[in-house]
Amino acid sequence: MFNASRAESSRLPLYCFPYGGAGASAYRGWGGELPGWLDVRPMQFPGRENRFREPPYTRLEPLVAEMAERVETGTPYALFGHSLGALVAFELTRTLRRAGRPTPSLLVLSGFGSPPQLRDRTQVSHLEPDAFWEAVAVHYDVTPEVLAEPLLRELAYPVLRADLEIVETYVYRPEPPLDLPMVAWGGVGDPEATEAQVAAWQEHNRQPVEVRIFPGGHFYINSSRPAVLAALAATARRVTGR
């Protein structure tokens, strides 16, 4: 007889952290397109979607601390983060290690370069809305609809500004390399994470880091979604033996 509870417990939780300005809906549909043994769990940051009444974080430490409380580490699990989400996933993993908690069975870092490579990022979070959007249009990949629509810009400004402030105020502190299955992915021509910056994640892990560059720029996870999800499933299957 089929045991639903046993099947559910055998699934691998995949916690997905969104990119700057986005919410958990960035991963809408992933659960239906990935194998059933992957339990996709999109994580919601404050200040957006169903948490829009909460002030967004402007520093990484409290955001990571909240995520550490919400991630269940009693059984094997995986982390996926894109852009800001990759930084959150990386520092969350180091936080869990310092606390003596189990680290993920797989860490997927997407669309964000190795932190020591990012010292010269352009500072924009201090700018007023008009100047902010002008600078963002030059230095970042942003959905054209947002740039073209004043109402969308008004709605997106507080959250995206706060998310960029997180990145701009982040200070990388050296620690011993991790020792776990890690992959680092990027997009061709991404102005926010070059192939060299993505490949430099290797310095943070004792095990070989699988590096892959997909077509599609910074938001390749959307434009190359079928290939990304196929690669994610294949990688998770390989490292977990599913």
Residue 242 pLDDT level (bands cut at 50, 70, 90): confident
The residues, any chain, with a CB within 8 Å of residue 174's CB and separated by 6 or more, are none
CB 171 within 8 A of CB 119: no
Q: What is the pLDDT of residue 1?
A: 40
Q: What is the pLDDT of residue 119?
A: 61
Q: What is the pLDDT of residue 8?
A: 54
CB 225 within 8 A of CB 3: no
- Domains observed in the chain: 4-115+176-240 (3.40.50.1820)
pLDDT, tens digit (0-9, with 9 covering 90-100), for 154-184:
888 899 999 999 999 999 999 999 999 999 9
Q: List for the chain the helix, strand, coil content (%; round to 5).
A: 50, 15, 40
Global pTM value: 0.92
Residue 83 bears catalytic tag: yes
Nearest to 186 by CA among 214, 226, 208: 214
Catalytic residue of the set 10, 83, 110, 223: 83
Helix (H), strand (E) at residue 81: strand 78-82
Spatial separation of the C-alpha atoms in residues 11 and 135, rounded to whole Å: 43
Long-range CB contacts for residues 93-98, cutoff 8 Å, separation at least 24: 93/178, 93/180, 94/175, 94/178, 95/64, 95/65, 95/68, 96/68, 96/71, 97/178
pLDDT, tens digit (0-9, with 9 covering 90-100), for 86-97:
999 999 999 999
